[in-house]
A = this chain, B = another copy of it.
Amino acid sequence: MSLPFFYAEKISAPGTLLALDEAAVRHITQVLRMKKGDRLCITNGRGKMLTAVIREQHKKECNVYIEEESDVPALQPRVTIAMSLLKNASRFEWFLEKATETGVNAIVPLICERTERTHFRIERMKNILVSAMLQSRQSWLPELSEPVSFATWIGSTEASNKYIAHCMHTEKTGLPGVAGLAGNKVIGIGPEGDFTPVEIEKALHNRFVPVSLGDTRLRTETAGVAAAILLRIR
Contact = CB atoms under 8 A, between A and B. Distances in A.
A214 B176 contact: no
Given A222-B98, A225-B225, A232 B214 contact: yes
Given A102-B226, A222-B102, A215 B75 contact: yes
Contacts of A94: 94
Given A213-B233, A214-B232, A233-B213, A225 B98 contact: yes
Interface stretch (A10-18, A23-31, A41-49, A135-143): A135-143
B136 A102 contact: no
Nearest to A98: B222
Interface band, chain A: 20 to 34
Given A94-B94, A226-B233, A216 B174 contact: no
A225 B219 contact: no
A78 to B, nearest CB: 15
A151 interface: no
A175 interface: yes
B102 A216 contact: yes
A136 B216 contact: yes
A230 interface: yes
Contacts of A219: 101, 135-136
A204 interface: no
A230 B214 CA distance: 10
Given A176-B234, A225-B225, A234-B176, A216 B138 contact: yes
Nearest to A223: B101
A234 B175 CA distance: 8
